[in-house]
């Protein structure tokens, strides 16, 4: 593995070596390197490489170039001389948030010649097309893939999004170009629903504040045996209205019911599993009757800015707003005004309209507004599921049986 100054990881430096005299020579070189002052782990890796090269194994095999310390990958093409196959080039444009070092890219490495960048650009930039180059498979999370980028990179065959949301990809133009766009639809049900309840509980109890207050000495110097700096809220018997009652919304509904809350739901596609958890109602009824309004819907042109001045006016005075779905679902200035006026008692937000958050975002100075840096999705368990499903998305695409396609039949 080579780490470039720009945070680039390069795998697959020798992706298509035939089982010829050149390969036999590498086998001899690998054997010669075995035991020459390397660690036990390195020696084992080199020995495995030698044996696998000699056998013409079809798997991706690690080897070590002792001369310059670079690690690369060899993918032999069948036993004996065999027919050389094409190797797909795969580029990851913003891999750091998915894998800051606690996961492995090995599943993707096994599928082609892999290049990983920690980050590229979160706004339109020529650097995006430059880094894609002649790669056939593009893996990204929040790096935009525009019409201009696709036109500049004619080799693209697949765009694999390391997330559920894919609004940063011009997926309709990709369809016109014959490029499949796939996503990861089910990785974060547990973590995201858990986090939305965590935001709600923080609003109800201000645990972080009171812990900091105790550590600052306020309890030790208090004349009473206990104290609280904010009103504390009990949730049992209160109503939560969940907008977007798919997997995550229903998981949140299960948790809310376990705490004794009544669950109302609004969704354009009601289903039987949802009816076992809560009561489907129209949007106006949900807004009017809910003590807590929680958002778990996909972002569409129809619901962008859903929580605006008009709809906030329909909500209960002193309602609580939770949003760890998409920042664009709310009009930030309208929510800030409602918080400052007391119309909304509090808001717990894990997403904002522009990320990273802008210093002039009105929510930063609004009353009773908790904001966290888009981390609902980020437990290691969730990110491992993203890695696994993304690798499978690419694997079945290469096998001609794509899954999790978001842009329909290609034209």
Tell me the torsion sign for CA atoms 143, 148, 154, 158. positive
Active site residue 79: no
8 A C-beta contact, residue 90 and residue 111? yes
Q: How long, in residues, is the chain?
A: 411
Please tell me the distance from the alpha carbon of residue 137 to that of residue 208, in angstroms, as a whole number. Answer: 43
Q: How is the beta sheet containing 262-266 ordered, strand by strand?
A: 279-280, 262-266, 239-243, 292-295, 319-323, 344-349, 369-371
Q: Which residues contact 287 (CB under 8 A, 6 or more apart)?
A: 241, 293, 311, 314, 315
Question: What distances in angstroms separate CA 384 from CA 7, 377, 407, one per listed residue?
Answer: 21, 11, 25
Active site residue 272: no
8 A C-beta contact, residue 348 and residue 321? yes
Catalytic residue among 24, 355, 358, 381: 355
Catalytic residue among 131, 374, 383, 385: 374
| End-to-end Cα spacing for the chain | 39
Q: Which residue has the tokens 């095999």?
A: 61
DSSP 60: -
Question: What distances in angstroms separate CA 85 from CA 15, 77, 137, 284, 393, one per listed residue?
Answer: 10, 7, 17, 59, 21
Neighbours of 323 (CB within 10 A): 24
Strand partners, 263: 240
Please tell me the distance from the alpha carbon of residue 52 to that of residue 66, in angstroms, as a whole number. Answer: 18
Active site residue 210: no
User: Does the bond joining 356 to the residue before it have cis omega, within 30 degrees of 0?
Assistant: yes
Among 370, 387, 329, 337, CA closest to 353? 329
8 A C-beta contact, residue 230 and residue 255? no
Catalytic residue among 296, 326, 383, 385: 326
Catalytic residues: 326, 355, 374
């Amino acid at each position: 593995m080579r780490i470039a100054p720009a945070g680039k990881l390069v795998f697959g430096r020798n992706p298509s070596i035939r089982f010829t005299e050149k390969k036999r020579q590498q086998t001899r070189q690998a054997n010669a390197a075995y035991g020459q002052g390397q660690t036990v782990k390195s020696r084992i890796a080199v020995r495995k490489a030698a044996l696998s090269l000699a056998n013409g194994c079809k798997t991706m095999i690690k080897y070590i170039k002792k001369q310059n310390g670079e690690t690369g990958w060899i993918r032999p093409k069948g036993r004996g001389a065999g027919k050389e196959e094409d190797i797909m080039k795969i580029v990851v444009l913003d891999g750091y948030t998915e894998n800051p070092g606690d996961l492995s890219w090995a599943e993707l490495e096994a599928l082609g010649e892999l290049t990983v960048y920690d980050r590229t650009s979160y706004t339109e930039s020529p650097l995006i097309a430059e880094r894609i180059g002649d790669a056939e498979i593009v893996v990204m999370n929040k790096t935009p893939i525009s019409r201009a980028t696709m036109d500049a990179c004619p080799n693209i065959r697949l765009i694999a999004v390391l997330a559920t949301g894919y609004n940063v990809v011009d997926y309709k133009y990709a369809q016109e170009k014959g490029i499949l766009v796939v996503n990861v639809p089910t990785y974060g049900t547990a973590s995201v629903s858990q986090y939305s309840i965590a935001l709600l509980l923080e609003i109800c109890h201000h645990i972080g504040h009171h812990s900091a207050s105790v550590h600052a000495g306020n309890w030790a110097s208090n004349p009473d045996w206990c104290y609280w700096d904010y009103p504390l809220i009990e949730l049992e018997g209160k109503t939560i209205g969940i907008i977007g009652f798919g997997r995550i919304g229903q998981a949140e509904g299960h948790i809310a019911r376990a705490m004794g809350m009544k669950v109302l739901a609004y969704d354009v596609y009601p289903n039987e599993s949802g009816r076992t958890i809560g009561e489907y109602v129209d949007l106006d009824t949900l807004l009017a009757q809910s003590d807590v309004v929680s958002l778990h819907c996909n972002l569409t042109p129809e619901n962008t800015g859903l929580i605006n001045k008009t709809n906030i006016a329909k909500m209960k005075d002193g309602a609580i707003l939770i949003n760890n779905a998409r920042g664009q679902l709310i009009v930030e200035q309208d929510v800030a005004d409602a918080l400052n006026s007391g119309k909304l008692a509090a808001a717990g937000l894990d997403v904002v309209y522009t990320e990273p958050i802008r210093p002039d975002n009105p929510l930063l100075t609004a009353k009773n507004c908790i904001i966290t840096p888009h981390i609902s999705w980020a437990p290691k368990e969730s990110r491992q599921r993203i890695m696994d499903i993304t690798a499978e998305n690419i694997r079945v695409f290469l096998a001609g049986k794509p899954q999790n396609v978001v842009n329909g039949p290609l034209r």
